[in-house]
Amino acid sequence: MNMKGLHAALAASFCAAPLALAGAADSRSFEMMAYTNWPGGAEIESGDYEAAIAAAQAHLRNDDRTIALVAATNLCVALTVTGELTDAVAPCDMAVTLAKRVERETIRGYVSREEHSRALSNRGVLRAVSGDALAAAADFRAASGMRGAAAAAHRNLAHLEGSGPSPSESLAARGPE
């Protein structure tokens, strides 16, 4: 599959899937993005986080970087939403690393930063709800500044810097609008 096809397949697998931790998903919540049509995604969308964790972990060490990226992303989201913040660090970091590698594989000069932006924004949410607002802001700013930036990165940064519930009081997981 060429990179345009890969990015189209990944983007098409994102959909709005509001999930809440300590409150309903709304404009005052942090947003995470999961790949809903990939390992662990349907389970995240349905709120079955234990099954999402198991499905994502089963594909985490896949030789296919795209599948590993999706699994790491979905594991990052599921662990963060369930409050297993220490366990979420490694898959969130892995998703950022894998997103960079997937995006380096260009065909005919096509480069997108969508996956990298999503991974950074998700990791920023983890950092925010873990109490590291400086690192969260750095991830949100980096994600927001990329070509093809996830809209959630902009909203997450605004939420972090604005008023509303504290980072530990709100978390939502959804796809881009």
Residue 147 falls inside a structural domain? yes
Average pLDDT score over residue span 3-8:
36
Residue 11 falls inside a structural domain? no
What pLDDT does 114 receive? 83
Q: Is the pLDDT of residue 11 over 80?
A: no
Residue 158 falls inside a structural domain? yes
Element (H, E) at 84: none
Residue 80 falls inside a structural domain? yes
Integer Cα distance of 35 and 95 in angstroms: 12
Structural domain containing residue 34: 27-173
At 109, which CATH number? Answer: 1.25.40.10
Residue 13 falls inside a structural domain? no
Long-range contact set of residues 39-42: C-beta below 8 Å, sequence gap at least 24:
39/67, 39/70, 39/71, 39/74, 40/70, 40/71, 40/74, 40/75, 40/78, 41/13, 41/70, 41/74
What pLDDT does 112 receive? 59
Residue 17 falls inside a structural domain? no
Q: Provide the CB-side half-sphere exposure for 26 (13 A, CA).
A: 8
Q: Is the pLDDT of residue 98 over 80?
A: yes
In the structure, what pLDDT confidence band is assigned to residue 171 with cuts at 50, 70 and 90? low
Residue 48 falls inside a structural domain? yes
Integer Cα distance of 119 and 127 in angstroms: 12
Domain count, the chain: 1
Residue 21 falls inside a structural domain? no
Q: Are 177 and 161 in contact (CB under 8 A)?
A: no
Tokens of 119: 């991974």
pLDDT digits (tens, 9 = 90+) for 55-78: 999 998 888 888 899 999 999 999
What pLDDT does 36 receive? 86
